[in-house]
Amino acid sequence: MYCIAEISVGIYILLINSPFSIVKYLIKYVLLSRELANSSLKGFLALEIESLSSLQKLILDHNTLMGSIPKGIGKLTNLIVLNLSTNQLDGPIPSEIGDMPKISKIDLRANRLDGAIPPELGKLTSLTELRLNNNSLTGTIPESNDSTMVSTNSDGQIGLCRLTQLTDMDLSYNYLVGDVPTCFKQIQRLSMVGNCFENNGTTNRPDNQSGLRRCKSRSSGNSATWTRAISWKENTVISIDDDLLANVPKISRQELAEACEDFSNIIGSSHDTVVYKGTMKDGSEIAVVSLSASVHYWTSYVELYFQKEVVEMARLNHENVAKMMGYSKESDPFSRMLVFQYPPNGTLYEHLHDVEGCQLSWPRRMKIALSIARALRYLHTEMQPPFAVAALTSSSVYLTEDFSPKIIDFERWRALLTKPGLSSGTIVNGSFNNIMDSRHRRFMDVQANTFAFGVILLELISGRAPVSKDTGDLVDWARKHLDQAEEFSKLVDPKLRNANHENLGIVCNVVNLCIDAEPCRRPSMNMIAAILEEGIDTSAATVLRDSSLAWAEAEIAMS
């Protein structure tokens, strides 16, 4: 297995299973010649990086780096700046990172890092900036109560309290619990929001300086509610309030019941969710996703996870992504619901594989393909951290009256709400470790979305369903015709009489890239969208000119 670094269209540099000299040259070029932040780099951090002990800056943010941070990074004893933010790195922060005595800035935000914050960070006495926000870090902040820590200053403080040079720290939007160390009051710029600290973040500093989200007690008389629950450690208590959802519209269950005809208008269901269609009083059509969960399974960790997901989905803002209009959250009867705008023209699957499919002319299909590509580019590159659609299919792409596609992520809750006996991934009591496993399953690799996009492209050009009893697997069938350009025409939907063969060649080449069996060889949606934008004409004039021909084809097909 090997992976690639995507430098520009058509240029690839091997990172894994490459000669050491190539890897060493690449890293030296990155660090000693220029920075490669936001350069569409794709692959894994090579283990050989540990031999480059003279490196002073490792700046690879805003790329698509995957896998874990090598433990050998601790051997970069001359490193001053480490910036791996906004990638897809996972696993724990290696404790060896505390072996770099000269480092002053560490930025690992917006990845998928999990586990505890290593106490060895307390040895980095030159550190001035630490950014670990927007990850999945767990446990308590390492400080003076942990006897296993090895870093101690003259005052007996250990762990992060030894970082007296620290002026900028961001630990927000993780799963940290326990107390916020009082020593943090000396940090000039501190952000801890989106965690569950027992002492409510009281550092004797004004909220406008710390950015801390206060968790209010029930006895305080404040209206904001909170939940306390024992976590995976028996002596750890967490607290959650509704401040996280303050900017997301809340809709009452009663209002949704009226809109959805007392929840009788079901348009989809699974073990995990039920989807209703409704019409609000202002006439807007909505889709309501009701989570199939009971209060028995809904622990405080699940509630925190739910709230973070609501906030994450509410910030999506793209013309080809269905807008989340709000949420409903009630205890009697217990319910958790999400409300989306509902495009009224059915799904792409229905238009392609039912009798109405002939309405979609070639230019219209190309416009849909390009619009989906742009939506995925937005989700994968403009959203930080990247947002992957949990189940991207032609059934999750809805069409407006003018056939503009809207992606709706109805299946985002599947892993979280898996019930005992329904699959191997069960969440018996909403335990924290299982929820974190679910988080990683649900924040799927963007490469899975790239593959799914390739399948949708095949559906668009062929008119065939992804899997059919009569024709089998679409990808397996298509591979036989994708190897040679002269075979591309055999993929075209027979209902289409006006397919542009130049466009067909571009799309087939993109499909080949998307459905590569090795995920790390699949290009980013940024690259895919650029290829389609450059090679396919989807101007309004082209689509309009062809619309009458599409209806003519429909009449011929039905005659």
> Whose CA is closest to 225, among 237, 238, 239?
239
Per the structure, how many domains does the chain have? 2
Q: Which of 238, 151, 228, 257 is nearest to 195 (CA)?
A: 238
CA distances from residue 151 to 117, 125, 171 in whole angstroms, order as listed: 14, 10, 20
Cα–Cα distance, 7 to 527 (Å, whole number): 10
Give the mean pLDDT of 82-86: 92
Q: Is residue 119 reached through a cis peptide bond, with omega within 30 degrees of 0 on the bond before it?
A: no
> In this structure, is residue 455 part of a structural domain?
yes
Residue 420 lies in a domain: no
pLDDT tens string 213-236? 333 333 333 333 333 333 333 333
The CATH number of the domain where 471 resides is what?
Answer: 1.10.510.10
Among the candidates 241, 267, 283, a domain finishes at 241
Same domain, 131 and 10: yes
SS (H, E, C) 24-57: HHHHHHHHHHCCCCCCCCEEECCHHHHHCCCCCE
Residue 516's domain spans which residues? Answer: 346-388+445-559
Same domain, yes or no, for 84 and 226? yes
Given 222, 241, 260, the domain boundary residue is 241
Q: What is the pLDDT of residue 382?
A: 87
Is the same domain home to 83 and 217? yes
Whether residue 64 is found in the same domain as residue 192: yes
Q: Do residues 230 and 117 share a domain? A: yes
Q: Looking at the domain assignment, is residue 440 inside a domain?
A: no
Share of the chain residues as helix, strand and coil, in percent rounded to the nearest 5: 35, 20, 45
| Domain termination residue (choose one: 241, 265, 284) | 241
Same domain, yes or no, for 229 and 352? no
In 3D space, the residue among 507, 502, 508, 512 whose CA is nearest the CA of residue 451 turns out to be 512
Q: What is the pLDDT of residue 515?
A: 94
CB 471 within 8 A of CB 491: no
- Does some domain include residue 287? no
Q: Which residue has 């969710």 as its token pair?
A: 273
pLDDT digits (tens, 9 = 90+) for 92-104: 999 999 999 999 9
> Do 166 and 21 share a structural domain?
yes
- Gap between the Cα atoms of 405 and 403, Å rounded: 6
Domain assignment of residue 436, yes or no: no
Mean pLDDT check: name the lowest of 229-233, 437-441, 531-535, 539-543: 229-233
pTM over 0.75: no
CA–CA distance, 61 with 82 (Å, rounded to integer): 9
* 424-460 pLDDT, tens digit each: 333 334 444 444 444 444 344 788 999 999 999 999 9
Q: What is the pLDDT of residue 120?
A: 92
Whether 428 is covered by a domain: the verdict is no
Please give the pLDDT value at position 11.
26
Name the DSSP class of 152: B
pLDDT at 399 over 50: yes
Establish if 118 belongs to a structural domain.
yes
CATH number at residue 127: 3.80.10.10
In a domain, 543, yes or no: yes
197 shares a domain with 66: yes
